[in-house]
Amino acid sequence: MPCRSLSNCIFFWTLFISFLTTSLVPAASDRGGRKIVHVLEDETGEVIVQTAPGIVTTHRGGTIILPCRYHYEESGEEPGPIRIKWSKISDQNSFIDVLVSLGKERRIFGPFKNRASLQENGPGDASLVIHNVTLEDYGRYECEVTNELEDDTGMVKLDLEGVIFPYHTRLGRYSMNFHQALQACKEQDGILASYDQLHEAWLSGLDWCNAGWLQDGSVQYPISKPRDECGKKDTPTGVRNYGYRHKDNERYDAFCFTSSLNGKVYFLKTYRKMSFPEAAKACEDKGDSLAKVGQLYAAWKLQLLDRCEAGWLGDGSVRYPIVNPRTRCGGSEPGVRYLGFPSKKYKLFGVYCYRGAKEKEPQETIKVDTNNMKNSQV
């Protein structure tokens, strides 16, 4: 099949040379005619994922397939069982077990129980299927395939559609150590953001002058509009980095990340303004709960919630979401407006409630035809 472009020619030629080097040279003479296992990888070390090598994207609550395919060279001997192991790689480069398979035996670990399985769409398919994806599933995964004495690995990154939101508690700016920041994001329907997520948000225009904890224990903040109060006006734009800080003793804000909602945030129409306790009861009377900060951000970013009325949220703060900026709605940029943490006695605001969706039947998983990966070798 002719190459359509120079870049395609280089990619397939490099992959072909790599295939010859790893598969043919050491096979029969050096390894006693055993079956040799290889995870299909390109020159970057990423698992070949048909149209988007090395990265797949989904949303919270979705079903995703992390592609991984192996091939082997048959010998005259009876083939031994193939061991497949999937692990999640943390920011500290430690490995968290997800699934181990040996022959027909399967073992699934921790939070992946009842959610993870192998696709097994034909011989050589080691792809991992994850149902009901959570925020914590975000990150890098390793597929390891072992045949007795031989093994090889490939890596794929699971990304989530979502939104970054800066956060501090009622105690004010720079009041949380790392562990408190982790908990604060969790309580607001989020997780601590990764550097990649913060960098992507900065590329999309996020500008925030308060430094915050990230998932890896570093403290950073994104600047799109340099100014004297945020590291001097004549400095370049970018994500400013304070480095890795002491997780127990030092205190900063947090950059949280959240994804799509399994429900709906709405502004409750009432005849009068309410105090915080009244707002909480008003949502409860509807069978719902006060919206969390992360839920409001997700509704604004992903469901385009636009409301020029300030309302109580579950943490005691008052905010409102603006998709289409207009006069008397808090400025010329879209975003979630923040009015602070007023006294809960003040009857000055409305309320944003959250209604969870009813349980749905699990969606059918669409199988990835990993057999097509074979055609990408040459």
pLDDT digits (tens, 9 = 90+) for 65-92: 999 988 766 555 666 788 999 999 987 7
Alpha helices in the chain (DSSP H): 6-19, 27-30, 178-187, 195-203, 276-285, 293-302
Residue 250 banded pLDDT, cuts 50, 70, 90: very high
> Residue 296 has what pLDDT?
99
Q: Degrees (nearest 5) of the Cα angle 79, 81, 82? A: 110
Mean pLDDT over the full length of the chain? 83
pLDDT of residue 303: 96
pLDDT at 355 over 90: yes
Side chain identity, residue 136: E
| CA–CA gap between residue 14 and residue 360 (Å, rounded) | 46
The pLDDT of residue 94:
87
Closest CA relative to residue 247, chosen from 180, 185, 178:
178
Q: Looking at the domain covering 35-160, what would its CATH class be?
A: mainly beta
Tokens 């031994």 map to which residue?
80
- How many alpha carbons fall within 13 Å on the CB side of residue 189? 25
Q: Which of 59, 56, 194, 215 is nearest to 133 (CA)?
A: 59
Q: What is the pLDDT of residue 142?
A: 92
Domain 35-160 shares a fold with domain 262-362: no
Q: Phi and psi for 228 in degrees, rounded to 5?
A: -60, -35
Sheet holding 150-160, edge to edge: 55-58, 150-160, 139-147, 83-89, 95-102, 105-108
pTM of the model: 0.80
18-27, 69-78, 99-108, 351-360: range with highest mean pLDDT? 99-108
Per residue in 11-33, pLDDT (tens digit) is: 333 333 333 333 323 333 333 33
Q: What is the DSSP letter of 123?
A: T
Give domain limits for the chain. 35-160, 163-259, 262-362
Name which of 349, 352, 345 is nearest 286 in CA terms. 352
Helix or strand (DSSP H, E) at 191: strand 191-192
Per-residue pLDDT at 44 exceeds 70: no
Instruction: Work out the average pLDDT over 254-266.
Output: 97
Q: What is the CATH number of domain 262-362?
A: 3.10.100.10
Q: Report the pLDDT averaged over residues 225-238.
A: 88
**Which pLDDT value is given to residue 184?**
99
Q: Which of 3-7, 245-249, 285-289 has the lowest mean pLDDT?
A: 3-7
Under the banding of pLDDT at 50, 70 and 90, the label for residue 55 is: confident
Q: How many residues would you count in the chain?
A: 378
58-72, 240-254, 258-272: the lowest-pLDDT one: 58-72
Spatial CA neighbour of 221 closest among 203, 242, 235: 242
More confident residue, 234 or 161: 161
* Superfamily, domain 163-259: Mannose-Binding Protein A, subunit A (3.10.100.10)
Split at pLDDT 50, 70, 90, the class of 138 is very high
pLDDT tens, 155-172? 899 999 999 999 999 999
DSSP one-letter string for 289-346: EEPPHHHHHHHHHHS-----S-EE-TTS-EEEEESS--TTSSSSS-EEEE-----TT-
Q: What is the pLDDT, as a whole number, of residue 359?
A: 55
